[in-house]
Chains A and B, each alone.
Chain A
């Protein structure tokens, strides 16, 4: 199971506990009164940590890393970080007119917004090369490579495809073909 990391919003902890838990029931005591309610205990392999930011007005006062579920020994402090998803959010916001702040191009219809986002995410996975995923093409002694870097998409990094897709490829890919390898 992966390590889950989020910001300080508690909903993720609730949802994760709901999904990965064992129910602890207390045996009847034989005495009078209402029996104790069964409790949800997180599975031992569930690891979840939060980056909690404290703000005063607009100023960021402190950043604390909080381990909610899981053994603190097994979670490295540098892994508790949400910068990758925040960067993804920024990319989505920059390249989607419906997500621009204080603009009139916001979506007027929820379904249309969902469709726009789904299309954008498929494009992000398969078509759009990700700069930090690029690989250096090794130079051989006799020949210098024409390009220094090989562009890669997130799908290539996850070994789902072996090349950068074109948009036409995404639009004409038949979804009943379940593997591209």
Chain B
């Protein structure tokens, strides 16, 4: 049989209903989900599904980090890869030519999704040894820079000789 223009039919065994009121909400493999056409996006056609038990229609991106994102998926993935290599969000927005807020939103949505994946998969791990430590972060930490305060007190507000130094402090 020749495959149609839309390619192979997607597997519906992994898809679950997204309607919270439905009895099959978040339960994959209940046979109640069937395909319901496709629609075009910038990264190819996305399948639509309908739930036979409650009648809800939803798209194949629902439940993934790409839901309601208009940019091509490859661009989003590239941005996230750059972020994960240690580039700042502003650098990523400059490299890809998108707005800073767009990059922020991509990261926020992926993070929300990744958090759910973490929660579901990474749990009840059997380990023999658990190392505990803390990580210093820099959100609203200006007042914690004690060395700078001490230096200012030691040297007064004049700086250590040159105007340049004063500006840096």
Contact = CB atoms under 8 A, between A and B. Distances in A.
Contact of B118 (A2, A94, A125, A171): A125
B27 A176 contact: yes
Nearest to B141: A106
Interface stretch (A26-34, A55-63, A112-120, A135-143): A112-120
Interface in B110-150: 110-122, 125, 127-135, 137-141
Contacts of B125: 158
A170 B120 contact: no
A81 B77 CA distance: 37
Interface string A16-29: 00000000000000
Contacts of A133: none
Interface string A103-128: 10111111011011011111101101
B86 A7 contact: no
B120 A115 contact: no
B138 A98 contact: yes
Nearest to B92: A97
A37 interface: no
Given A97-B87, A175-B116, A176-B26, A107 B139 contact: yes
Interface core residue of A119, A120, A128 (most chain B CB under 10 Å): A119
A180 interface: yes
B45 interface: no
A73 B159 CA distance: 57
A106 to B, nearest CB: 4
Interface in A41-58: none
A84 B131 contact: yes
Interface of A: 2-7, 9, 12, 79, 81-82, 84-86, 89, 92-101, 103, 105-110, 112-113, 115-116, 118-123, 125-126, 128, 155, 158, 160-161, 167-168, 170-178, 180
Q: 8 closest A-B pairs (Cβ-Cβ)?
A: A115-B111, A122-B114, A105-B88, A106-B138, A175-B116, A85-B131, A97-B88, A6-B132
Given A4-B132, A174-B16, 13 more contacts: A2-B130, A3-B129, A5-B129, A82-B131, A94-B86, A98-B138, A118-B115, A119-B84, A121-B114, A128-B84, A161-B121, A174-B14, A176-B120
